[in-house]
Structures are given as structure tokens and as C-alpha cells.
Amino acid sequence: MKKRLVVIGNGMAAARVVEEILKRRRDAFEIVMFGAEPYGNYNRILLSNVLNQSQEAAAIMMNPLSWYEENGIKLHAGVKALHIDRENQIVLGKRLPNGVAAYLPIEKSFPEGSAVREAYDFLIIATGSRPFVPPIEGFGGQGTFLFRTIDDCQQIAQYAKDCQRAIVIGGGLLGLEAARGLITHDLDVTVVEAAPQLMPAQLDLEAAQLLKRAMETMGLRVALDTITSQITYRDDKVSGVAFKNGTQMETDMLVVSAGIRPITEVAVDCGLKVNKGIVCDDQMKTSDPKIFAVGECVEHRGVLYGLVDPIWQQAVVLAEVITECGRDAVYEGSKVGTKLKVMGVELASFGEKNPSESTDEVIVYRDPNRGIYKKLIVADNKIKGGILLGDIEMADDLMPMFMNGTKVPENRAEILFGAVSGETLLDVNDLPDSAQICNCNGVCKRQIVDVIKNEQRTSVSAIGEVTKAGKGCGSCRGLIAQIIEATIGKVSYDPREHYYVAGIPLEKSLLVREIKNREMKSVSTVFAQLADGIEDAGSKNGLASLLKIMWPKEYEDERDARFINDRVHANIQKDGSFSVVPRIFGGVTSPDELLRIAQAAVKYHVKMVKITGGQRIDLLGVKKADLPAIWKDIGMPSGHAYTKAFRTCKSCVGTDFCRYGVGDAISMAQKIEMRFQGLECPHKVKMAASGCPRNCAESYVKDVGIVAIEGDQWEIYIGGAAGSIVRKGDLLTTVNTHDDVLCIVGRFLQYYREHGKYLERTYGFVERVGMDILKAILIKDTLGICSQLDERIQEAVNAFKDPWKEAETPAYAHQFDGPQLVEVVGEVNNNG
């Protein structure tokens, strides 16, 4: 029978430990969780975004309620565990009454029938912390708040609506986050801190002074060395505070964020060993071997942690131990460091802030005008601590060196500014086996080395296939290559990484040559001639895209080689219905078009009509069989919102209406869209045209962005992005007329079409090829190919056909048919 595992708490530590357990042994336990908050687990780190309303509460959920269901976990959401009966191995909980903050202590009583009872074989306590309220007379009335949960944020945001002034007590990380949130509600905010500096836990005095200056320029008031003694009320609402030094300050609301304290009542109540936190050994066990603890509520070797990194490490060890996958796993404590952004100021802080021994070296660089401060403390050639403010690029090298005790270079300047050679400072040979390499997927050096040695995986991608390392944000891929090199001397490049598509063993330029030489014009011919007739489903789309780019007119369009979206020219949705986005050139539509769209939406029972980010209208939830009819009714061309092609060109109102406009952005955008509509590319291409550098159409973050500047000129940016990756585009060139813009943009697109890898966005392409080279080829014409590029893009433009015309003449029989009903014709016995 499965063992029962009960978890008290459902925050970041609790959910992570359960994930780690499931990862190791999916079916080992029947899991029950108590969570005082009425939600799934969310990313508490992002709460300040909820407070400043840049993110919805739903957007920071990491484990929504459906996750628990999908993984067979019973979650008591909104139920607080109040008692552990260790003798009978039972946890008793009670539903929290409405409006009671999840972290506040409540009375341990179970009126008739109110107890939620769960038996356990093993128990994990992950109750986290509660905000600490210093002794201030009068805290708790209307207009006073704490800052720890989604509910707190929503109450603060709600109350702030009717306020002009706010005071935040506490000038640490969380206090400043709270202040930032309140400033976005247009409040006049003062941060009151008892210490003589901001962020005393992370910064030294000098860095704190720089930070204070930066905060003040952003409109925040800061009162240091100030201790709050009393809160005053008028009409039962907060009206001000009085300070120990005798002064007073008026305010409309007050947020206290003065540190945290571990939540330990359940542990104290049942007699577990508790000091400041719940005492755990190196295997995360409490004084009762059936009970573990993890997260902020834990005290390990006398230390409490208030950041997620150490908690992730604890969670891994606990999971190893409890699943018996690694009975000897031990947690030996963490060195802590963080990278943060406080009101837009980036900072990193790790280890000691000030020298402690007379032999400690202190290396400092200051550039107060630019708000930059860097300080490192070095002893025995190793980093003991550091603070980076304003420019934290080196943190990615320095923090792992600090965590792992790596030796620093002799030339100390290199520590602060990077190696003169441009190489990274970090030498993988110096990293211990346990060093975490891939932070996204939690893979350490030893796992990677094992795979290299035992499974003969010698390329970065092959290692990713086995361990998932490098498959998250990808920033550790360089390190993985270094590890391979250090282990076996040489990194091999998996040739498949360079194939244009997996099913044809050729890199793009060779494939293009073969296709040209043999004049192959359909996907099935390519498979027949270059892959022994084996049709790899995953390679079809890439080949189709390439062939269409190479043979704009003669390409033989076999629809089975296309993804469903390209077969029926609409975007498949999760329920199997489709979305319809008509082309709205430059984002300008008309009452007539809107009427037709509205009527069609009603007629075909469209589930949602949504304005898209690309200044168009999306009709969602259309049945496949209705597509031809709805296109006809709308009477507008396809917007190609479903395919790897040029999508849209956003515009601002430019000189037509805007008082700042210096160029006519609307007609620019319309011309671009008219010319390049439907143009097939390695990936989607989004564009924008703005009438001045205020950039209201967001041109700087588009694949191609056009910006009008003084003097009747247009700047052309390429390689911008604002999706999962955000990148400002690079200036390709500046030109004088609309026609020049169309010419250069077309040239770039054609070059990208011919040389981009399949599914490589322009940002990746621009970085891979390099801006200098692109400028040389496309502007200076160093290769002498510009006129050919111009010709070929013209050919592609000429070959354009609106795919929605297939409403009149389908490309093949049953193209838009839905499921077909069939009738039984007979019954047979079958002995086979």
C-alpha cells in the first residue's frame, strides 16, 4: 500500500518539495496538503508586480489548482493545520474563516464537525514565515497593512485608490518593493527605516547611500534612523504616525514590512524541537524522525533562510531522503546571494558586506554619476562577499565563484570588469561536483559529467536530451560545453543540430544546393530523393517553407506537408476550433468592415472577439467547417496570424493626428503590409512603424521596426523582440523615403528567408550573423548580391495569393470537412 504523506503549508517550499518527490517516484505516496491560503501555490517573489498591477494574481500562479488534481494530490485549500497528534500520526486542521489573514495565529479549537483530519506515515512542515510587526502602539486598525500574500496585495491596492499619502515602515527589500507598488498607484510614499541605511541586510553604507539617491530621484521619500512608536487614527482610519524622536507625520495608509519571523506554532504545540525556527538536521528531519521541515520555517545549523535558492536545495535533499532515492543526501547549508531589481535599480549582493579580518582585501569601483558601485571582499584569493549596484553583469560569473569558493584572477580589475581576453572568469575545473550548472532544471556538474562518461554523450544538445540541462533559458550552455571539454578534451557538435530539418541529413546551404540542382519542387520528392522515401513528419513543415521560399511560383503545394493551420489558413485552438484574424492593413479599419466582422461573429457563434496585440481583431472558436463561409462573409483577406510568415505591421497615428509626429507612420505601415502580406519566413515576423522616437507602436522591439526621425528620415531596426525574449532591435540604416524603407526591409527579409534556420526568429538570426556583417551585405553590398535579393523578393511578392480565396475554390476535396458520421453495415465474428 502507498504510504501517506501529509504536507502542512502550500507555499513555494511545499510545492517544490512535492514536485521534487514526484519527479523521483511518482507513485510512492498518497499526498495530502494543507494550505492556509485559498489558492494553489504562487510565486511570492512576484507579489510586488501584483501590487503595482503589472501582473494579475492569476499570472503568478506556479501550481494552479488543476495541477494538484492532475497529480492526484488532495489539497485542502483555505484550511489551516492546527494540531499534530504524533502518537496516532494524525494532523488536525480547520477551515479559515473569511477575512482572516493566512499567517495570523488562530485559536486551536474544533467546534463540532469542523476538524479536517488526515493520517500520515510521513509529515512535512513547510509553513514559511509571517511578517514581523515591531512594537508600535495602535497597529491593526483600518488603513494599516502587512505585505506577504496575494490577499494582502489586493487589499492594499484597493485601499490605495482613495489615498494620497502612504508610509512604509521598513527600508529592507520588501519595504522598498511595497513602496514601489504604492508609487504606481500615484501615492506620495515615505519609507521609514530604523537603521541608518536602506537594505541593511544586503548593502554596505556607501551602496545604500547611492541607492537612496536613486530612489529619491524616482520620487520616494526616505527617513532613516527613525523609529515609529505610535499610530494615530481619525474617524477610525489611520491618519498619521508618531516617531520616537518626538516628530510626527500624516498619512492616509500604512504598510509595515519590517522583517519576517518563522511560523512554528504547530511544531511547538506538538513538542518538536524549536529555537528561532523548527530545528532540522542535515537530512531536513525534525526531532521526530517521521516529521520533516523545509523552507523559511526551518532552522538548520543555527541559520534561517529567507530566499528561495537555499530552499530549492533543501527541497532536493528532502526529496532524495524521503523517496529513498538518495538515502545519504545531506544539506550542508547554503551560501546566500541574490540578484534583485529594486525600483528599476539592479543590484547583486552575496556573502559578507564588509571586511572582517585585517588581511581581507577590499576592491572597490565607484562611478556615482552613473549610479554604479562595485565592491568585492577577497581573502586567500577567494571571494568572501560582494555588492554590485547599477551594473551587475559580472554577477553571473562572480556569484558561482563565491558559492563554490573558486580562485579569482591575479589581476583584480578583471574581477570587477571581466577578463581582458573577453573569456569568462569562471573555470569549470574549479567547480565542485555539486555545483549547480543549470539553474532552470536543477542539474549539477556531477550529473553532467556522469552522462558524458557513462553514456558517451559529447555534445551540449545530447546532454540536454538526457539531463534537461541547458533546455531552460539556455544561459548555461556555454558552461556545459566547457564541462565537456574539461572531461573529454573536445566538444563534439551533434551534426543533427545543424541539419535544417531532422529528417534530411544536410545543413541548410547544402540542402538548398541539392534542391536547386535536382530541381525538387515538392516535399515528397525531397524525401524520395534525399531520405530514401522516409517521410519524417516533424521535417515536413520546414521543407515546405523552404521550397516555397526557393520556388515562389513553381512550388508544388502538397498540403499534407503542412501543419493543420496552413492547410486551412486558421489557427487551431486547444478545443480543436479555429481562430480567424482578417488582415487590417496598418491597424486601420472602417465602420463597414467592423459591421461585417460583428455580423459574422454573431452568425457563426464566435466564442470571443478579441483585439490582438498586433492591432487586429481575432474571432475565436470557429468550427473548421465554417471557415470558408465566415471568410466570405467578412470579405477581407487573411491576416496570416496562424503561420510562420510576415504577420502584421502596427502603426501609430503619426503625422495624421499626433502632435509629435514627424513622419507619416500609418501609410508607411499600410504600404509595408500591402507589400509583404503572407510572405513565408523561417519564423513569424512582426513589424511596426512609429511616427517619432517616442515609439508608440513599439518599433524598437519588433523583428523589423521603422521609426520616423527629424529631417524627414526613417530609421530601420531589425532583430527586436518582446516575447519570451525581450531585445531591442539594432539600427540597420536610416533612409529618406517610404520606398527606400520598402526596399531595405524587403532585402533584409529575403536574406533572412534564404539564410535563417527554420524556426529561428530574427533576433537569433541577427545575433548569429552579426550586425556588422548584415550592414556590410545589405547596405554596403560587399557581396554584390543586393540586386539579386531585391529581384527575388519582388518575385515572392508577385506570387502572393490570398489563401482565404480557397473559400471559393478549395485546394483539395474535403479540405474544410468536419467529422463525418458513418453508419454500421454489418457485424462479424473475429477469431483473430
Q: Is 60 exposed, middle or buried (0-12, 13-18, 19+ CB in 10 A)?
A: middle
Residue labelled with grid coordinates 497528534: 85
Nearest-approach distance from CB 20 to ligand FAD, in angstroms: 13
Question: Which H or E run includes 773?
Answer: helix 771-778
Q: Which of 52, 541, 638, 677 binds other proteins (CB under 8 A)?
A: 541
Name which of ligand SF4, ligand FAD, other proteins, none residue 696 binds, using a CB cut-off of 5 to 8 Å depending on partner kind: ligand SF4
DSSP-based three-state secondary structure for 554: coil
How many Å apart are CA 48 and CA 168, to the nearest integer?
14
Name which of other proteins, ligand SF4, ligand FAD, none residue 8 binds, using a CB cut-off of 5 to 8 Å depending on partner kind: ligand FAD
Binding positions for ligand SF4, rule: CB under 6 A: 652-654, 658, 660-661, 665, 690-692, 694-696
- Compare residues 156 and 641 and give the one whose CB is closer to ligand FAD: 156
- Compare residues 13 and 208 and give the one whose CB is closer to ligand FAD: 13
Residue 377, CA atoms < 13 Å, CB-side half-sphere:
17
Angle between the 762-769 and 738-755 helix axes, to the nearest 10 degrees?
80
How many Å apart are CA 607 and CA 411, to the nearest integer?
64
- Compare residues 658 and 674 and give the one whose CB is closer to ligand SF4: 658
Site for other proteins contains 827 (CB under 8 A): yes
- Compare residues 177 and 715 and give the one whose CB is closer to ligand FAD: 177
Name which of ligand FAD, ligand SF4, other proteins, none residue 658 binds, using a CB cut-off of 5 to 8 Å depending on partner kind: ligand SF4
Q: Which of 494, 558, 633, 790 binds other proteins (CB under 8 A)?
A: 558
Number of Cβ within 10 Å of residue 495's Cβ equals 11
Nearest-approach distance from CB 454 to ligand FAD, in angstroms: 34
- x/- mask, ligand FAD, residues 558-597, rule CB under 6 A, reads ----------------------------------------
The DSSP code for 285 is B
What is the 3-class SS of 43-99, one letter each residue?
CHHHHHHHHCCCCCHHHHEEECHHHHHHCCCEEEECEEEEEEECCCCEEEEEECCCC
- Compare residues 122 and 563 and give the one whose CB is closer to other proteins: 563
User: Which of 796-812 are b and which e, b meaning 16 or more Cβ less than 10 Å from the residue's Cβ?
Assistant: bbebbebbbebbeeeee
Number of Cβ within 10 Å of residue 141's Cβ equals 13
Q: Integer distance in angstroms from the first to the last C-alpha of the chain?
A: 38
Count of residues interacting with other proteins (CB under 8 A): 41
Site for other proteins contains 814 (CB under 8 A): yes
Q: CB–CB of 582/597 below 8 Å? A: yes
Nearest-approach distance from CB 687 to ligand SF4, in angstroms: 15
Site for ligand FAD contains 177 (CB under 6 A): yes
Non-local (6+) Cβ contacts of 817 within 8 A are 624, 625
Site for ligand FAD contains 37 (CB under 6 A): yes
Q: Which residue is nearest to ligand FAD (CB)?
A: 11
The candidate with the shortest Cα–Cα distance to 798, out of 679, 639, 703, is 679
Q: Which stretch binds other proteins (CB under 8 A): 49-57, 193-201, 535-543, 723-731?
A: 535-543
Q: Which stretch binds other proteins (CB under 8 A): 160-168, 247-255, 403-411, 557-565?
A: 557-565
Name which of ligand FAD, ligand SF4, other proteins, none residue 691 binds, using a CB cut-off of 5 to 8 Å depending on partner kind: ligand SF4
Residue labelled with grid coordinates 509595515: 256
Full strand arrangement of the beta sheet holding 571-572: 571-572, 578-580, 617-622, 608-611
- x/- mask, other proteins, residues 760-799, rule CB under 8 A, reads ----------------------------------------
- Compare residues 148 and 702 and give the one whose CB is closer to ligand FAD: 148
Nearest-approach distance from CB 95 to ligand FAD, in angstroms: 11
Name which of other proteins, ligand FAD, ligand SF4, none residue 1 binds, using a CB cut-off of 5 to 8 Å depending on partner kind: none
**Residues near other proteins (CB under 8 A):** 503, 524, 533-541, 558-564, 567, 572, 574, 576, 812-815, 817-831
